[in-house]
Amino acid sequence: MIIVIFVVFAAAGFLVSRTLKSKFKKYSQTPLKANLSGAEIAKLMLADNQITDVQVVSVEGQLTDHYNPLNKTVNLSPDVYYGRNASAAAVAAHECGHAVQHAKSYAWLNLRSTLVPIQNSASKILNIVLIASLFGGFALGLPYEFVGYIVVGAYGVMTLFTLVTLPVEFDASNRALAWVKTRNIVTPDEYAMSKDALKWAAMTYVVAALAALATLAYYIFIFFGNRD
């Protein structure tokens, strides 16, 4: 069953990722009439939101764009940092949306940040238990039910993290789209492209959340579903 879950969501993830890359490639071929680069758009959005302590930097890779709340940097891949197209505008504004969330103490972002170390610990615990189970069953010497609580609890935390990520990502996109529209960064056609690109980016998180929920349900059934 777990293999079926893995295959189904791996296939869904592949299709979404492939569509996302196709959309970004397509929209990157349409130059912005405003002729602004992703870096310029990011700096302008930060300035409009009175955010002066966040830097916009270029990082290596493709689709490696992210906001780092620890050192307050908006990290843009070269295609986005230097790009002057709808895709670059969408991604740059989206990442700045996270910076705005941080500056305004957006509740879901704060919760997600709080969950990061807990989620990392849960992931390590889950890996230890699952690896141990491969070498001689429950070699840790723990009762089956107790192991179930550990696995379900750890995966429950990881699933919660993926669910909390959803409103954070959707809100960042909404902030980005509202700003590029009211600031006249994009034309109506370019706005439609930006919105579509961000929609498919968000779908990657939706698939991850659904996969986590399905896997959590599987573990709950395996450990506790056969009780009389």
CA distances 26 to 29, 88, 116, 216, Å, are: 6, 12, 34, 36
- Cβ–Cβ contacts within 10 Å for residue 146, how many? 12
Helical packing angle, 86-103 and 107-134, nearest 10°: 100
Q: Could you tell me the two tokens for 77?
A: 């891949």
**What are the structure tokens assigned to 183, written together?**
């600031």
DSSP H helical ranges for the chain: 2-27, 38-48, 78-81, 86-103, 107-134, 144-182, 188-224
d(CA 108, CA 102): 10
Q: How far apart, in whole angstroms, are the C-alpha atoms of residue 178 and residue 96? A: 12
Give the separation between CA 25 and CA 29, rounded to whole angstroms. 7
Identify residue 83 by its one-letter amino acid code: G
Amino acid at position 171, single letter: D
The catalytic site residues sit at: 95
Give the HSE-up count for residue 21: Cα atoms under 13 Å, Cβ half-sphere: 8
